[in-house]
C-alpha cells in the first residue's frame, strides 16, 4: 500500500514539475492560445464576410484547422519541447537518478498536455458553433482522447530523439507537416483528403466535418484501424527508442 | 559479504568501442568514509561513477552497491543514494523552495526536512528566489541540498567544486565535512589534489583508467617521501633547499645553533607530486 502511494507521489511530482515548466514556457503555451484565438477569429471574420450563419463547409474548415492544430501543437510540441528543455538544462538525469522510473516519467510527462489537448478540442468544438444535434459526444470524446494520446506518445518520441529545444522543433516539424497540414489541406484537395483518412488527426477531422455538414457520423472500421494502428505504432517506436538508450543517450 | 561495506567494486573495466576507459578497478567504501578518485580530465572518474550508480554498464567485473549488483539495480536504489553529476541542473523557472519540494515529494520527505537542509546550506533567505537567478556557488549548494534531502547512505559527487571560485569551494568543503560528520559515506571525484587531501579518508589516484595508487593522503605522501628535503630560510633572506645528507644535517644544525634560521620546512610530497612521480604526468594537465 505504502509503495503504491509512494509511486503515485513520484508520478505526481513529475506531473507537477512538467506543469510548472510547460506553463512557464511561453513558446509552447502559445499553441493552445493560438488555436482558440484563430478559431474565434475565423468565426468572426468569415461570419462578417457571409453576413450571419456560416455555411457548413466553412465551419468544417475552421473545425479541422483548430482540431489538427491543437492536437499537434499541444501534443507533440508541448511534450517534446518539455523533455528537450530538461535535457538542455541537465535536469532529466537528475530526475532519473532520483528514483523516478521510466514509466512514471512517461505518464507524468504527458498528463498535463494530454488533458489540455482533450479540453481544447472540446472548446474548439463548442466555439465553432456546430449544431449540437448532429454531434455525437461519445464518439467525439473517444476519438479525441485517442488522437490526443497518440500525439502525446509522438511527443515522447520527439523528446527522446531531441537533445535540445532547437532540434526538438526540427524533429517535430515533419510530424507537424504530415499530421497537422494534411487534414487541413484535405479540405482543398481530394487526394490529400484520401491520405488524411489514414492519419489519426484525419480521422478526427473527418468526424468533425460530418458534424459540420450535419450528417450522422458513423464509425468506419478503417477509422478504428487507423487510430488503433497508429497508437500501437507510436508506442512501439517509443519503446524501441527507449530500450536502446533510455530517455537520454550517454 | 561484509556487513559494513556499502560499495564494492571488483575488477571493473569499461570499453567504449575500442577505447579502454577503465581497467581493473577494485575498491570498497564503508559507512562514514570519504573516498576520492583523483585524476586528470579523461582519467575515467565520471565513467566510474556512472557504472556504480547504474547509469552505464561495465564491460566486465562486478560492482555491488548496498548489497545489490549494479546491473540489477532499479530506480528504487536512488531512494538510498544521492547523485550529483558533473553537470546536475536545477529547475531555473522554479523557486529554490520549489526545487527542493518537488524532490521531497518524490522521496516522501517532510517539509520540515526541506527546511532543515535549506538552512544547513545557507539558502534560507533565498527560498523564494527564482533558482535561475542564483549565483554559481548558491546553485551548487542547492544541488547538494537536493542530493541529501532523503539522507542517502552514500553520496556520489562528480567534481563538486569544479568551476567554482576558491572561496565558494571552501563553503562546499565545509558542507561536505558536515555531512561526513553526520556519518554519510561520500564517494567523490576531483582533479584537485588540495580538495582530495582536505576531504578524503582515502584516495585512489586514477590514471588512464587505472588505479595507480591507493591510500590515505598522508600515507601516500609519506610513502613517496623517499628523498627527504628541507627548505630553510636564513637570516640573510636567503632560501635554500637541502637534501637529507649528513653534511647538510650538520650544516642545518650549525645554522640553528647560531640562531640563523628564520623558517624551516620539510618538503614532503603533496598528492600532486605523488601523482607526478607515479605517472610521470601532472594532474592539471
Ligand atoms: N560515451 C562515451 N563514448 C566513448 N568514449 C567515452 C564515453 N564517455 C567517456 N569516454 C572516454 O572515456 C575516458 C574517460 O572519460 P571520463 O570518465 O569522462 O573521464 P573523467 O571524468 O575522469 O574526466 C575518456 O577517454 C573519454 O573520452
Ligand atoms: Mg568527468
Tell if the CB–CB gap between A9 and B106 is shorter than 8 Å. yes
Rounded distance between C-alpha atoms, residue B59 and residue B15, angstroms: 6
Q: Is B8 helix (H, G, I), strand (E, B) or coil?
A: strand
pLDDT at A17: 97
- The answer for residues whose C-beta is within 8 angstroms of residue A147's C-beta and 6 or more apart is A71, A200, A201, A203, A204, A227
Find out whether A242 and A92 touch, Cβ atoms under 8 Å: no
Does residue B81 have its Cβ closer than 6 Å to ligand 1? no
Ion ligand 2: residues, CB within 5 A, are: B 45-46, 86
Q: Which residue of A has its CA nearest to B84?
A: A94
Query: Which of ligand 1's atoms lies nearest the C-alpha of B159?
Result: 21
- Average pLDDT over every residue of A196-204: 95
| Residue A250 belongs to some domain of the structure | no
Does residue B150 have its Cβ closer than 6 Å to ligand 1? no
| Residue A168 belongs to some domain of the structure | yes
Q: In the structure, what pLDDT confidence band is assigned to residue A191 with cuts at 50, 70 and 90?
A: very high
Tell me the per-residue pLDDT of B249-261, one tens digit each, with 9 for 90 and over. Answer: 898 899 899 888 8
Residue-range domains of chain B with CATH: 7-216 (3.40.50.300), 226-267 (no CATH)
Q: Give the mutation target among B37, B40, B44 for probing the ligand 1 site: most ligand atoms within 8 A of CB.
A: B44
Instruction: Check pLDDT > 90 for residue A49.
Output: no
Does residue B18 have its Cβ closer than 6 Å to ligand 1? no
> Which candidate in B50, B89, B110, B150 is best for mutational testing of the A interface (most A CBs within 10 A)?
B89
pLDDT at B211: 95
pLDDT at B263: 87
Question: Which residue owns the Cα nearest ligand 1 atom 17?
Answer: B44
Question: Which residue owns the Cα nearest ligand 1 atom 8?
Answer: B47
pLDDT at B3: 64
Q: Is B91 helix (H, G, I), strand (E, B) or coil?
A: coil
Rounded distance between C-alpha atoms, residue A223 and residue B82, angstroms: 49
Find out whether A247 and A92 touch, Cβ atoms under 8 Å: yes
| Residue A21 belongs to some domain of the structure | yes
Q: Which residue pairs from B263-269 have beta carbons closer than 8 angstroms and sit at least 24 positions apart in sequence?
A: B263/B232, B263/B233, B264/B230, B264/B231, B264/B232, B264/B233, B265/B230, B265/B231, B265/B232, B266/B228, B266/B229, B266/B230, B267/B228, B267/B229, B267/B230, B267/B231, B267/B241, B268/B221, B268/B222, B268/B225, B268/B228, B269/B221, B269/B224, B269/B225
| Residue A75 belongs to some domain of the structure | yes
| Residue A47 belongs to some domain of the structure | yes
Domain that holds residue A188: 2-245
Find out whether B94 and B105 touch, Cβ atoms under 8 Å: no
> Which candidate in B52, B80, B106 is best for mutational testing of the A interface (most A CBs within 10 A)?
B106
pLDDT at B159: 95
Candidates B56, B92, B108; nearest CB to A6: B108
The beta-strand segments (E) located in chain B are 7-16, 19-29, 34-38, 60-65, 68-69, 81-84, 154-158, 185-190, 202-207, 210-215, 229-234, 239-243, 261-266
Q: In the structure, what pLDDT confidence band is assigned to residue A42 with cuts at 50, 70 and 90?
A: confident
Is B102 an 8 Å CB contact of chain A?
yes
Ligand nearest to the CA of B18: 1
Q: Which is nearest to A158 in space by CA: A226, A250, A103, A238?
A: A238
Distances (CA, A) of B43 to A155, B213, B232: 38, 13, 37
| Residue A219 belongs to some domain of the structure | yes
pLDDT at A2: 57
pTM: 0.91
In the DSSP assignment, the letter for residue B271 is H
How many domains, chain A?
A: 1
Tell me the per-residue pLDDT of B111-154, one tens digit each, with 9 for 90 and over. Answer: 999 999 999 899 999 999 999 999 999 999 999 999 999 999 99
Query: Which of ligand 1's atoms lies nearest the C-alpha of B209?
Result: 14
Tell if the CB–CB gap between B106 and A98 is shorter than 8 Å. yes
In the DSSP assignment, the letter for residue A51 is T
Residues in chain B with pLDDT < 70?
1-3, 285
pLDDT at B72: 86
Tell me the per-residue pLDDT of A93-146, one tens digit each, with 9 for 90 and over. Answer: 999 999 999 999 999 999 999 999 999 999 999 998 888 888 889 999 999 999
More confident residue, A218 or B66: B66
Ligand 1 centre and the CA of B210: distance in Å?
13
Percent of chain A with pLDDT over 90: 66
Task: Give the range among A9-13, A72-76, A180-184, A242-246 with minimum mean pLDDT.
Answer: A72-76
Tell me the per-residue pLDDT of A62-77, one tens digit each, with 9 for 90 and over. Answer: 898 999 999 998 888 9
pLDDT at A224: 95
- The answer for residues whose C-beta is within 8 angstroms of residue A54's C-beta and 6 or more apart is A43, A46, A47, A62, A129
Amino acid at each position: 500500500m505504502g509503495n503504491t502511494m509512494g509511486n503515485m507521489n513520484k508520478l505526481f511530482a513529475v506531473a507537477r514539475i512538467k506543469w510548472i515548466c510547460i506553463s512557464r514556457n511561453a513558446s509552447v503555451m502559445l499553441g493552445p492560445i493560438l488555436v482558440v484565438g484563430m478559431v474565434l477569429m475565423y468565426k468572426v471574420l468569415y461570419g462578417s464576410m457571409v453576413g450571419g450563419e456560416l455555411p457548413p463547409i466553412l465551419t468544417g474548415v475552421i473545425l479541422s484547422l483548430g482540431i489538427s492544430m491543437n492536437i499537434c501543437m499541444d501534443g507533440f510540441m508541448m511534450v517534446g519541447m518539455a523533455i528537450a528543455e530538461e535535457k538542455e538544462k541537465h535536469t532529466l538525469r537528475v530526475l532519473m537518478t532520483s528514483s523516478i522510473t521510466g514509466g512514471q516519467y512517461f505518464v507524468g510527462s504527458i498528463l498535463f498536455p494530454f488533458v489540455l489537448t482533450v479540453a481544447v478540442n472540446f472548446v474548439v468544438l463548442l466555439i465553432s458553433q456546430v449544431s449540437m444535434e448532429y454531434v455525437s459526444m461519445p464518439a467525439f470524446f473517444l476519438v479525441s482522447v485517442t488522437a490526443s494520446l497518440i500525439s502525446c506518445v509522438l511527443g515522447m518520441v520527439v523528446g527522446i530523439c531531441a537533445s535540445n529545444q532547437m532540434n526538438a522543433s526540427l524533429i517535430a516539424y515533419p510530424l507537424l507537416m504530415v499530421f497537422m497540414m494534411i487534414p487541413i489541406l484535405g479540405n482543398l484537395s481530394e487526394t490529400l483528403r484520401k491520405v488524411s483518412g489514414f492519419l489519426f488527426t484525419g480521422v478526427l477531422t473527418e468526424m468533425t466535418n460530418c458534424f459540420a455538414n450535419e450528417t450522422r457520423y458513423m464509425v468506419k472500421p478503417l477509422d478504428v484501424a487507423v487510430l488503433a494502428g497508429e497508437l500501437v505504432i507510436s508506442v512501439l517506436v517509443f519503446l524501441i527508442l527507449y530500450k536502446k538508450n533510455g530517455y537520454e543517450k550517454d | 559479504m561484509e556487513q559494513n561495506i556499502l560499495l564494492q567494486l571488483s575488477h571493473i573495466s569499461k570499453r567504449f568501442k575500442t577505447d579502454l576507459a577503465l581497467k581493473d578497478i577494485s575498491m570498497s567504501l564503508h559507512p562514514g568514509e570519504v573516498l576520492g578518485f583523483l585524476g586528470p580530465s579523461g582519467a575515467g572518474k565520471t565513467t566510474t561513477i556512472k557504472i556504480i550508480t547504474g547509469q552505464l554498464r561495465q564491460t566486465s567485473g562486478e560492482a555491488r552497491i548496498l548489497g545489490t549488483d549494479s546491473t540489477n539495480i532499479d530506480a528504487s536504489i536512488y531512494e538510498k543514494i544521492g547523485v550529483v553529476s558533473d553537470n546536475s541542473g536545477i529547475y531555473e523557472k522554479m523557486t529554490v523552495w520549489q526545487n527542493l519540494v518537488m524532490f521531497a515529494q518524490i522521496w516522501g520527505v517532510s517539509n520540515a526536512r526541506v527546511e532543515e537542509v535549506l538552512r544547513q546550506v545557507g539558502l534560507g533567505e533565498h527560498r523564494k528566489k527564482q533558482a535561475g537567478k542564483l549565483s554559481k556557488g548558491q546553485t551548487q549548494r542547492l544541488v547538494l541540498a537536493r542530493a541529501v534531502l532523503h539522507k542517502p547512505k552514500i553520496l556520489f559527487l562528480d567534481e563538486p567544486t569544479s568551476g567554482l571560485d576558491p572561496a565558494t569551494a571552501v563553503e562546499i568543503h565545509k558542507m561536505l565535512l558536515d555531512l561526513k560528520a553526520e556519518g554519510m559515506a561520500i564517494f567523490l571525484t576531483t582533479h584537485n589534489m588540495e580538495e582530495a587531501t582536505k576531504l578524503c579518508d582515502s584516495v585512489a589516484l586514477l590514471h588512464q583508467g587505472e588505479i595507480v595508487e591507493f591510500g590515505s593522503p598522508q600515507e601516500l605522501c609519506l610513502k613517496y617521501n623517499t628523498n627527504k628535503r628541507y627548505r630553510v630560510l636564513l637570516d640573510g633572506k636567503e632560501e635554500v633547499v637541502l637534501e637529507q645528507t649528513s653534511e647538510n644535517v650538520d650544516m642545518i644544525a650549525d645554522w640553528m645553533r647560531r640562531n640563523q634560521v628564520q623558517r624551516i620546512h620539510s618538503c614532503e610530497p603533496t598528492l600532486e607530486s605523488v601523482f607526478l612521480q607515479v605517472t610521470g604526468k601532472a594532474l592539471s594537465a
